[in-house]
Amino acid sequence: MANNLTVLSVTELTRTIKGVLEARFSNLAVQGEISNCKLHSSGHLYFTLKDEHAQLQAVMWRSRVGNLFFTPQDGMNVIARGNITVYEVRGVYQIDVVQLRPLGIGELQLAFERLKQRLAGEGLFDVERKKPLPPYPRRIGIVTSSTGAAIKDIVNIISRRFPAVELILCPVKVQGVGAAEEIATAIRDFNRYGKIDVMIVGRGGGSLEDLWAFNEEVVARAIYGSKIPVISAVGHEIDFTIADFVADLRAPTPSAAAELVVVDRSEIVEIVRNFWYNAHQIASNKISLEKERIKALLRSHTFNRPLDLVRQYSQRLDEVKHTLSQSVAHHFRLLQEHVGSLQKRVASVNPELTLERGYAMVTRNGKVVSRAKVLSQSDHVGIKFHDGIVPAEIK
């Protein structure tokens, strides 16, 4: 029997099969569920694509893995585009994946919900473990891209509000595969470095795919493990990421994070101004009081020394007051200018615009009510919409 057939070597046969398969099955797309997904230390990604009746080995080379925006996970339905190749050494065929996409946005949302539920179950989002932010941080760590809009916005806002701080950037890739790992590493590095009071982790707006790194488990774990308080600042107001749930504080945008992390210096100016006013008032009163007391004393005794003492105090007060007005006046002026420009800025933010977006404002006696607890039963209030006010009574 065998004499009638050409005998091939295994290599020859495999080569022939390879030629046929690779010619016939090139540039195709196949849909399936990922299983046994492994990112090898070489950077290549290996997984199996399967459906109810069959499975297909798949490999994605490192150079292409770099273009992925999400970490493929077991159970995810995907469409893989690529070519069938035959690996001669082991006599197996596989798909060499050029591009991998989630079957739909739904796949990502599913992955998001699954991770969110699992992490919530583990207590990563628990309110009790959220750390308070330092009121006056001196050094602020920032985990974001060195070229993105986020770092620019943060620098601008903090230099306006409270420039007496040091910002320390740990530049990372914020999208694409590897981004999540870089972000997580940066958070851990800041903890090892230790000499910062708080950190902002985030990036500017983008598509769901662009923001995906902040939905990856490694980032969530790194934030959870951070001893330094973390403010998340990802995308726009409407974007919620896993990072937001784990963070000690979620800022809706990087700019908002910059506003939340430092107070405005005009607030400190106000505190200082109040101090000067009150302390000077109290000290002057105390001196006059003392003067009166001693004068009264003097009327009954021949006793000069205490009055001298009081005069000395009086002089000292005047001197301190003098120092204050001489050397500090220009600081006040400088800050006053700054506060003035701020007030203009605030005035340009029209609250009516917020109302037009569908929000309403509660007022009482013409004043805005910003807390529920200040209202009590049968209080008369007004509810201000963008098109008018309606009266209401608290039940």
Partner 1 sequence: MSPKKSDGKQSGGNFERSLKRLEEIIETLERGEVSLDEVMKMYEEGVHLSKACLEQLTQAELKLKRLSKDINGNFRLIDNTEE
Q: Does 354 sit near partner 1 (CB under 8 A)?
A: no
Q: Based on CB atoms, which residue is closest to partner 1, 83 or 314?
A: 314
Report helix, strand or coil for 282: helix
The alpha helices in 75-230, defined as continuous H runs, are: 105-121, 149-161, 179-193, 217-225
Residue type at 219 in one-letter notation: V
Q: Based on CB atoms, which residue is closest to partner 1, 189 or 209?
A: 189
Binding mask 297-326 for partner 1 (x = CB under 8 A): -------------x--x--xx--x--xx--
Choose, by CB under 8 A, the member of 17, 283, 342, 361 that binds partner 1: 283
Q: Does 148 sit near partner 1 (CB under 8 A)?
A: no
Q: Does 385 sit near partner 1 (CB under 8 A)?
A: no
Which CB contacts under 8 angstroms, 24+ apart, belong to 18-22? 18/85, 18/86, 18/88, 21/84, 21/86, 21/93, 22/83, 22/84, 22/85, 22/86
Minimum CB separation from partner 1 for residue 165, in Å? 7
Q: Does 192 sit near partner 1 (CB under 8 A)?
A: yes
Report helix, strand or coil for 163: coil
Q: Does 58 sit near partner 1 (CB under 8 A)?
A: no
Q: Does 275 sit near partner 1 (CB under 8 A)?
A: yes
Q: Does 327 sit near partner 1 (CB under 8 A)?
A: yes
Q: Based on CB atoms, which residue is closest to partner 1, 3 or 327?
A: 327
* CB-based contact 235:205 (threshold 8 Å): yes
Minimum CB separation from partner 1 for residue 33, in Å? 39
**Tokens linked to 191:** 């903890």
For residue 80, give Cα distances in angstroms to 7, 26, 57.
37, 12, 12
Stretch that binds partner 1, among 208-216, 268-276, 363-371, 386-394 (CB under 8 A): 268-276
CA–CA dist 294, 290 (Å, integer)? 6
* CB-based contact 114:122 (threshold 8 Å): no
* CB-based contact 223:243 (threshold 8 Å): yes
CA–CA dist 295, 306 (Å, integer)? 9
Stretch that binds partner 1, among 6-14, 154-162, 231-239, 372-380 (CB under 8 A): 154-162
Stretch that binds partner 1, among 41-49, 118-126, 231-239, 282-290 (CB under 8 A): 282-290
Minimum CB separation from partner 1 for residue 35, in Å? 36
* CB-based contact 56:62 (threshold 8 Å): no
How many residues touch partner 1 (CB under 8 A)? 54
Contacts of 50 (CB under 8 A, 6+ apart): 32, 33, 35, 56
Stretch that binds partner 1, among 13-21, 188-196, 245-253, 365-373 (CB under 8 A): 188-196
CA–CA dist 167, 196 (Å, integer)? 9
Q: Based on CB atoms, which residue is closest to partner 1, 102 or 204?
A: 204
Minimum CB separation from partner 1 for residue 95, in Å? 38
For residue 64, give Cα distances in angstroms to 67, 98, 247, 275.
5, 6, 31, 63
Binding site for partner 1 (CB under 8 A): 134-136, 138, 141, 146-147, 155, 158-159, 162-171, 186, 189-190, 192-193, 265, 268-269, 271-272, 274-276, 278-280, 282-283, 286-287, 290, 310, 313, 316-317, 320, 323-324, 327-328, 331-332, 334-335
